[in-house]
Structure 1
């Protein structure tokens, strides 16, 4: 049998058979299974066509597999809190993870933690990179979507956190999905929310291009490769097709549930959507424990793959060349990922590769005028440092008090937001 051109990677919340399964969308035949735990929603990422990463559902670590060594975990990346979402650019140079209300960014070649972004004040729900890896977008329960310039994040000073390039505030309830089209920094992005709207944005300018209102909450969204249509997964199990080339152009419109623009077959909310490279097939995962493969033109379900629990991830990808070869190995090793920033001196405990040299005065040599002046300067500096030490301790104490107050305010704000969101969604 010829190797498939595309594969579907799918995970479910039960994880009884496998954490992740790879199967042929044309036949539904299972090709590979990756064992160990279960992956969180939006918590699956392919790293450089060499490794598969899955954020463990409800736990504070990320599972890592070599693509061809399906039955053996390469390592577990330990994180400070449960991983809520995961993303990696096409080149596989970085890994971004949503951890509570923060975004952690690692450099793959070294494993060093490059940035911790804390501009959201509720849990991050989704992350995605542009196709060229120059920007990434984050959505959260605080109803905000942020656009980050990767270069600006990496170049930001440690004392000042980087600022997002754009902050989109037009949604009124938690963000459920964020996806980018093609074009790098000139691409378009789409966001979905529990407020029953899907919004289309221009990444370069940050301008809102289109807002579509539905009768149900939208749980997932994606483009077709040509970006002629949006596919939106509803909380009632329906999948809606929105025409982006419809005339006349309207910035705000309400979706009309015409029969030919709706895919019907799921019995519960549609949590994930993906379109094949040629734009002919749509893959959808649902809480009804099934993944469906649809023919987009006819809106017919071609096949259904059953799972043992609510589907958390389902994505169709080009089949990596080494994925089905058991004798192949990754072209680069994966280092241990650090949990903390490197220190100012560039070392972190025993991980430092530097050499410290202690140079002392040789016996019999006389001190020069410059050496005596340097010693006097150091002595004065020590005296001044002793006077400042008390002020430094006071500042540290005050900083600790402010951090405690900030954490308390954040908790109060989160409780109020969750209470309000529950009331709105129930009504």
Structure 2
């Protein structure tokens, strides 16, 4: 059987047989499972396509597994406190965790703790990176969502406290979930809250674009890849689909089911904790406290598969299958380092070490994109010329062969002409 392109990764708080499990998106068959402990909500993340990470429920450490080894016990990364949210940057270079009201940011290659951001006033509930890894957004019980620029957070001057790029402060109750769309720094961000609203923001400016009021508390939120629809998981088990392309859409509205794209998915019996959409936007995955994970057809709003679990579902995501997930002999290219719990590296016995980071204008010799394109075009033409004409002595031999072939063709053509002339002028 060919390896699947997309897989479902889930976890529940029961963890009687395993911590996390991998299922085939289209057949629902179980592919892999990872043993040891149980995962907290909104803490499951893939690191560089080589490791699966999740925070231990009720404990102050993070579980780590090599993505291809289903029979292994987890490694453990001890944290300064209880981890309430966890995410890795899409480029695999950074790991961010919410610990109480602070956000901890590590550099994956060295394990160094780069920054501790204590800008929230209460516990951090959710963390998400943008798809280009340039920004991340944190939401908390203090009703705030903060947009952080990664370049401003990573710095040498530890005496300077980084400030968020934007403070999104229009919610009146704790934020339960958030989702960053595509387009990097130009992305839209959706935030869900116990105040029964979901708000859509412009990340670059921090402006509020849309606010939708529901009849129930919203526990999870996501976009489809094209951002045609906004999916919101309610505390009553319903999933609400909001059309973002409706002509009658106003910036402040109440949700009403209609024929204009606003629909309700009915099937769960308890609050919906997590939502995820497939890459083609046709399938919606939901996890619930009713101990089930459901896969829905977006167009028909029908549940096409139900995966039973042994406890309330804490995480459920659809993700592209890493290249080495189903290769038993593969190993991670780089082993995970020992992650530091202290901001100052000197406490770990590394005194005297100097960390140098390139400044904004220090890379003067770096080629521009146009220069790289010209060089690439030159190399492609050179390879083409070489393959066609050869080089050096081979060129002369090739030219001689071609000239001889031309003379032969001329002779054949002349003979054909003479023969045809004689045939046509011959008297009958």
TM-score scaled to structure 1, two decimals? Answer: 0.81
**CA distance in structure 2 between the aligned counterparts of 1:156 and 1:130, rounded to whole angstroms:** 23
Residues 120 and 140, structure 1, Cα contact 8 Å, conserved in 2: yes
- In structure 2, stretches of 5+ residues that fail to align are 355-428
The verdict on how the C-alpha distance between 1:66 and 1:352 changes in structure 2, with shifts beyond 3 A counting, is: farther
The verdict on how the C-alpha distance between 1:352 and 1:15 changes in structure 2, with shifts beyond 3 A counting, is: farther
**CA distance in structure 2 between the aligned counterparts of 1:125 and 1:18, rounded to whole angstroms:** 25
Residues 292 and 303, structure 1, Cα contact 8 Å, conserved in 2: yes
Deviation at 1:350, TM superposition (A): 3.3
Deviation at 1:2, TM superposition (A): 1.8
Q: Deviations over 1:7-46 (max 9, x none)?
A: 0000001111111000012111000001000010001010
Aligned to 2:244: 244
- Secondary structure of the residue aligned to 1:155 is coil
Give matches, 1:186-205, under 5 Å: 186-205=186-205
Residues 36 and 74, structure 2, Cα contact 8 Å, conserved in 1: no
2:330 is aligned with 1:331: no
- Secondary structure of the residue aligned to 1:43 is coil
Deviating above 6 A after TM superposition, structure 1's stretches of 4 or more consecutive aligned residues are: none
- Secondary structure of the residue aligned to 2:154 is helix
Aligned to 1:9: 9
Residues 66 and 73, structure 1, Cα contact 8 Å, conserved in 2: no
**CA distance in structure 2 between the aligned counterparts of 1:156 and 1:11, rounded to whole angstroms:** 38
Instruction: Choose 1 or 2 for highest CA Rg.
Output: 2
Aligned to 1:166: 166
- Secondary structure of the residue aligned to 1:348 is helix
User: What do you get for the CA RMSD once the two structures are aligned?
Assistant: 1.4
Deviation at 1:61, TM superposition (A): 0.3
**CA distance in structure 1 between the aligned counterparts of 2:106 and 2:80, rounded to whole angstroms:** 14
Deviation at 1:342, TM superposition (A): 2.5
Q: Deviations over 1:248-278 (max 9, x none)?
A: 3311000003487110000000000000000
Aligned length: 352
Give matches, 1:52-131, under 5 Å: 52-73=52-73, 75-131=75-131
Aligned to 1:283: 285
Deviation at 1:74, TM superposition (A): 5.3
Q: Deviations over 1:66-92 (max 9, x none)?
A: 001123245211011110010011111
Q: Deviations over 1:188-215 (max 9, x none)?
A: 0000000000000000000000000000
- In structure 1, stretches of 5+ residues that fail to align are 356-427
The verdict on how the C-alpha distance between 1:249 and 1:49 changes in structure 2, with shifts beyond 3 A counting, is: same
**CA distance in structure 1 between the aligned counterparts of 2:43 and 2:297, rounded to whole angstroms:** 26
